[in-house]
Structure 1
């Protein structure tokens, strides 16, 4: 992060001149915290309260009313605040947006409402993490689906400065969903265009990290199971990238056999055709594009990986 970025974050910690009167801020915060939508509506109808709608308050880490509503999952208060002009991507002192806190709290309805109101699905550029990385790690497939529907970056990387580059840089959404055993999230990410060779095609990453682990290697190392390996193969992962170390302690016999078999047996023409068609569809959300193709439903389902 640049000095300007750091200065911006620290500026959020400084009290503002218009914060001298704390009563209005505390009243708004209290109404949201108790999910008292009637009181909140009454307060926001008054200009002397409404002018503090984006003002952080509270002990410890000061936060805005919208951030509080998102963190607690108080949907009615959240929507009322948005109706009255609450800033949808306002940052707290941790550079987290209300959407990020809603995702962290697994409040699906609040996530959807914030996204519809224009929240950035990728969160803040000043935060190392992102809503998509959080959803993939936690295995919340419904929230992950909504973020992807609103065009969150499917191969988003943790934001770390180049001088602090380490293994954390490699831990994208596909990586995290595999390590934490979230098969539904893993498949959903691939369906939305996640790179099955993540970590091994980015020139900048290869220049910073000598031997980044492929997703295939990660799946084998963590015992993710044959389902993960099959999905990576089906979505076109390079099966020759992993460095296989096979010894008597290896517990991944079935997955290893599948990978070794794939190395010597060429893909079927159907499988190759599916890969090429999906690659030609450049849209982030491929399913609607596939639905518009003038082909039989059986073939559409095959392109969507709905059948084995």
Structure 2
């Protein structure tokens, strides 16, 4: 069925390439008046959701949002453009608007009913893009409209060798976007793996937590504090090894100073846990502190 639909679309594109090209030209010139006049004609209206043929990845709506042309976007939607149409990479117009950091276009698409998660067959998503770019206002609007805060399986993304769930929380931490990181936690992101898909987690070999990855990437202490405040489990099996790994990497240059810093960092982690003391701490905590 998919192949049949694709064949029909390609045939339509070939037969109407001139009309599609003229529509795109009006959009790219941000000429909303001309665009509106054209779309009142059936010959143009029937190709409103067609991709532009050879070398053109998306529909006129993709072209409008890729340039941030809000007025043309509104004209296209008013004349029946599909809000969740996809380009050759299975990216929706919302994805293009987020990538371009066009907040008004993002809002217009979401109000028109765009799926805040994008298309499920695309490896990325609007939330992942906003978290990576640190665009907190766009991320907030996506989350307000129901976008997922945790990782989900996507076609061709996960392999048996994967060890970390590369969700929005992980990306916000690695790229140092603290406000996005905090916002995701406030909207319910899982503080351990940023993933609640048991099948996805089980496909990974010894999955790494967000806390572990923050330590490995040298994220600021604020990221660690937020994870603990939102309930991250600091006693997961592989965390002890990660702490030792971090100490090993940082201790070769100036052992005394770095050792002291690691001691303070560990004490900060453990003392922030409610009712935690050395007498109540599990054996692993005692072992870690004993090393210093």
Scaled by the length of structure 2, the TM-score of the pair is 0.81
| 1:109 counterpart residue number | 104
CA distance in 2, matches of 1:68, 1:94: 14
- Indicate the SS of the match to 2:146: coil
What 5-or-longer segments of structure 1 have no aligned partner?
269-308
CA deviation profile, 1:122-163 (whole Å, cap 9, x unmatched): 000110111111111111111111100100001033614488
| 1:247 counterpart residue number | 248
1:188 to 2:195 alignment: no
| 2:41 counterpart residue number | 46
| 2:81 counterpart residue number | 86
Contact 1:239 1:259 in 2 (8 A): no
* 1:127–1:18 Cα change, 3 Å: closer
Contact 1:67 1:98 in 2 (8 A): yes
Displacement, 1:238? 0.6
Q: Bigger shift: 94-103 or 153-162?
A: 153-162
Contact 1:73 1:110 in 2 (8 A): yes
CA deviation profile, 1:85-144 (whole Å, cap 9, x unmatched): 100000111111111111111111111100100000000011011111111111111111
| 2:132 counterpart residue number | 137
Q: When the two structures are aligned, how many residues end up with a matched partner? A: 264
CA distance in 2, matches of 1:178, 1:200: 15
1:257 to 248, 259, 264: 264
What 5-or-longer segments of structure 2 have no aligned partner?
252-257, 276-292
| 2:24 counterpart residue number | 29
Which structure has the larger Rg?
A: 2
Displacement, 1:61? 3.0
Contact 1:104 1:135 in 2 (8 A): yes
Report matched runs for 1:1-308 at 5 Å. 11=6, 15-17=10-12, 19-157=14-152, 159-161=154-156, 164-167=159-162, 170-198=165-193, 202-241=197-236, 242-243=239-240, 244-245=243-244, 246-247=247-248, 249=250, 257-263=264-270, 266-267=273-274
CA distance in 1, matches of 2:158, 2:138: 33
CA deviation profile, 1:164-218 (whole Å, cap 9, x unmatched): 3343761000000001111110000001100101168653234222211111111
CA distance in 2, matches of 1:162, 1:67: 24
Q: Bigger shift: 211-220 or 13-22?
A: 13-22
- Indicate the SS of the match to 1:152: coil
Q: Bigger shift: 76-85 or 202-211?
A: 202-211
CA distance in 2, matches of 1:252, 1:55: 62
Displacement, 1:266? 4.4
